[in-house]
Amino acid sequence: MHFFDFSEIKKNESSIKRTWGEYREALATKKISFNDVEAAKEELFLKTYNDLFHDHNGIKLQTKTLGSIVGIPLGRGARLKETEIPDYERFLPKKEFINEDNRFSPAGVEWLYLAVGDGNTRSECAKKECRMKAGERFGFCDFQLLDNVLGQKIVDLTIADALSYADINNELEKHGQKQYKRSLKIAKATGLNVPIDKSAFNEAMTKWGVFTYSKLLSQQIFIPLGDGVDKSIEYAPFQSLAQYFISLGYAGIMYGSTVYPQGKNLVLFDKNMATPVGGIDISVIV
């Protein structure tokens, strides 16, 4: 006996791609601006997201403090000139050199984008994000979060990346089965019909919705851009989403790399929340 029908995933994939496209179009045609959060929340994509993640408190499942990731190595890479000897300043964002849109911020905005991961993961991710080519010089430097920002909140959009839809569905199904068996056991013992625990059920449904939506976002929205694509248009809804998170008091976003599947990135809305540390590694791409 199954309590839930999980057959609508393809329909949900189509829906999230469609509403994301409408969101992007509204920004491209200047119907709304990327920093007008209230207008953006009238678009179906963000309206749906806001309902699940804010109004139903699902965002708590995506919320972390910077202190909770303090043990995870962070770093930043840079393409170097042929004879350049970089110092720490070379790895800090400066608006005069930010000539293109980044995923969550327009050109000229000095947000700090960091690669996340142990071992070589973060440096390899940074190479891919910098679009390094054979023969080019690459510099990489680790970063450390400042002690006075560890209480700040970030949104983790990668919470479902390691799970399959089946994993997410099975957890909800197990909850339904547990509720049913509990009610059946009490009914047999007392002869009374016991209603389901609505609070626990709603919490389980919210968790399922958050993880499913996060998985859909990761697979359908966070995809690599093709050659010749206008970044200012394609990145606009991401930039609008960042403004939405800022309005809720968040200091950054953790998200999966679209060019290095094993990697994650962290964007901090204040570049002074982390500082370069340790040595600077210089290599030539082969």
Say which DSSP state 51 is in.
Answer: I
Sheet with 153-156: strands ordered across: 63-65, 153-156, 252-256, 264-268, 112-116, 74-80, 137-145, 274-284
Half-sphere exposure of residue 221, counting CA atoms within 13 Å on the CB side? 30
Model pTM above 0.85: yes
Q: How far apart are CA 24 and CA 40, in angstroms?
A: 10
Task: Let me know: does 178 contact 197? Beta carbons within 8 Å.
Answer: no
- Per-residue model confidence as pLDDT tens for the chain (286 residues): 454 566 666 787 888 889 999 999 999 999 999 999 999 999 999 999 999 889 888 889 999 999 999 999 999 999 999 999 999 999 999 999 999 999 999 999 999 999 999 989 999 999 999 999 999 999 999 999 999 999 999 999 999 999 998 898 888 888 767 766 666 676 666 766 666 667 777 888 888 888 988 988 888 888 888 888 899 999 999 999 999 999 999 999 999 999 999 999 999 999 999 999 999 999 999 9
Those residues with Cβ within 8 angstroms of residue 266's Cβ, 6 or more apart along the chain or in another chain: 69, 74, 113, 114, 116, 154, 252, 253, 254
Q: What angle do CA 265, 267, 271 make, to 5 degrees?
A: 135
Task: Let me know: does 276 contact 118? Beta carbons within 8 Å.
Answer: no
Domain range list for the chain: 9-61+158-218, 65-156+222-284
Task: Let me know: does 262 contact 125? Beta carbons within 8 Å.
Answer: yes
Q: How far apart are CA 123 and CA 141, in angstroms?
A: 9
